[in-house]
Amino acid sequence: MKKILAILLAAMMTATAFAGCGEGGSGSGSGSGSGDNSGSDTSSSDSTADDDSADALVDETGYWVDPSAFGEENNITLKVWAPDKAVSLVKEQIDAFQKHYSDITFKSIDVVAQGEGDAATQLLNDPETAADVFSFASDQLNKLVNAGVISEVAFLNTVSGANDPKTVEAGTVDGALYAYPETNDNGYYLVYDNTVVTADQAKTLEGVLEACKAAGKKFIFDCGNGYYSCTFAFTAGVEIDGLETVGDEQKQKFTDYDPDKAVETLMAFSALMKQYKGTWTSLDVAKIASGFTTATLGAGVDGSWNTVPDQEALGDKFGAAKLPTINVNGEDKQLKSMFGYKYIGVNGSSKFPNAAQILALYLAGEECQTQRAANLGWGPSNLKSQQDKAVTDSAVLKAIQEQSANACAQVNIADTFWSPMGNLGTKLFADDTDPTDKAYFTKLLEETIKNIRDEA
């Protein structure tokens, strides 16, 4: 009996040894629920001689290639990561892909659901077993390129010619294009109840707030989340400008700005928040759809991924527009937002690099982008797909397109960017902040930038 007890105890001790072995938490960081980096400082125009050889194999559609591009690869096994909602569509697209290249033997092409938000984290965990072709949000590009786990795009000229130049620019790091643009829609815009706010009022922030206040409704703008509150800094002229290397550390670079004017803009924002206290609320964007449902909300700044619930909540009353302007000392300034893209990347450790490149080219090509715009409502980056009826008819996609012209690309953003930006927004919004205290705002802006650049 004693021995049996001892065996049990020993077994338990063994079991506790495994206690720490669970999968580590997959924290998504403090930024947004979406991606963050799009390269902004380099252009993708210069191409080397050997890149042309790959481009020469692409036919006039822009997404099919000559089978010789596969080289010696045969009996191909590939793994594809796509977000949950897109898996079934991607499977159909892969069937079409296999049918087209009937001369090549495909052993299997698996599609596995994997969110775009943490695709890079998962890939970095173990590149060897990760997907060969994967979707990811633009903020992770920098991480992937730094770790060297993503391959350069083989069909450079084809891809850069077919897509929105902004998405191509954002996918470029140090002169090399690393990813196939997939969407051009990852941002936020103004959603409003058109019985409360008129299209004309939606053009200015003051108009929106006045209309909401008059109707006794709220306006939601999440000031505590760096993904949204960076709008204040960007509008103030403090825009991000890629990363720079100082010593052996990469630091966030900002454009040159006039500190005096920047502070004035921040003060204007803070003054508006105070003036419309009770109307302007700083809540998570998840509260927007429910606010419309309960008719307590007049307008909000919401992400493109929440469009469907917002439309369901508002029905005919749904209104969408680019972000409004704000009046700073008599001058109307357009709000500048953060804008991201989604990309398809090729794993650097893929066993079939050529096949992976060809598949990525197809999945990011015109045909597939048009299908996704029609079926999933994703805003395409392909110039021809952008002319498709499904895209031009959508008020939301139109608002997003307009906003994308007034935005900083969500690429090459330091990990330290998000929480100081969130703090900046929180402080502008805080009750005890005096919007006329210029010294306070000057110091706040200085400290925020110092924190982002890790200069302390």
- The stretch near other proteins (CB under 8 A) out of 50-58, 314-322, 394-402, 404-412 is 50-58
- The stretch near other proteins (CB under 8 A) out of 187-195, 243-251, 365-373, 376-384 is 243-251
- The stretch near other proteins (CB under 8 A) out of 255-263, 307-315, 316-324, 418-426 is 418-426
- The interface with other proteins within residues 198-237 (CB under 8 A) comprises 224
Q: Which of 62, 83, 127, 300 contacts other proteins by CB under 8 A?
A: 127
| DSSP H helix total and E strand total for the chain | 19, 17
In whole angstroms, the minimum distance from the beta carbon of 15 to other proteins comes to 9
- The interface with other proteins within residues 310-369 (CB under 8 A) comprises 346, 348-350, 353-354, 356-357
In whole angstroms, the minimum distance from the beta carbon of 30 to other proteins comes to 6
User: Does residue 187 contact residue 335 with C-beta atoms inside 8 Å?
Assistant: no
Residues that contact other proteins, how many (by CB under 8 A): 72
In whole angstroms, the minimum distance from the beta carbon of 371 to other proteins comes to 25
Q: Quick one: 274 exposed, middle or buried, by C-beta within 10 A (0-12, 13-18, 19+)?
A: middle
Helix (H) or strand (E) holding 298: strand 297-303
Indicate whether 281 belongs to the interface with other proteins (CB under 8 A).
Answer: yes
Q: Which of 25, 84, 99, 102 contacts other proteins by CB under 8 A?
A: 25
Q: Which of 41, 42, 73, 257 contacts other proteins by CB under 8 A?
A: 73
Nearer to other proteins (CB atom), residue 250 or residue 406: 250
Nearer to other proteins (CB atom), residue 247 or residue 315: 247
Nearer to other proteins (CB atom), residue 29 or residue 309: 29
Which conformational region is residue 434 in: left (phi greater than 0), alpha (psi within -120 to 50 degrees), or beta? Answer: beta
Q: Quick one: 374 exposed, middle or buried, by C-beta within 10 A (0-12, 13-18, 19+)?
A: middle
Q: Which of 45, 46, 59, 71 contacts other proteins by CB under 8 A?
A: 71
Q: Which tokens in the block code for residue 140? A: 């992770």
Helix pair angle (366-376, 353-363), 10° resolution? 50
Rounded Cα–Cα distance for residues 451 and 293 (Å)? 39
User: Does residue 361 contact residue 302 with C-beta atoms inside 8 Å?
Assistant: no
Q: Which of 1, 4, 17, 439 contacts other proteins by CB under 8 A?
A: 17
Q: Quick one: 413 exposed, middle or buried, by C-beta within 10 A (0-12, 13-18, 19+)?
A: buried
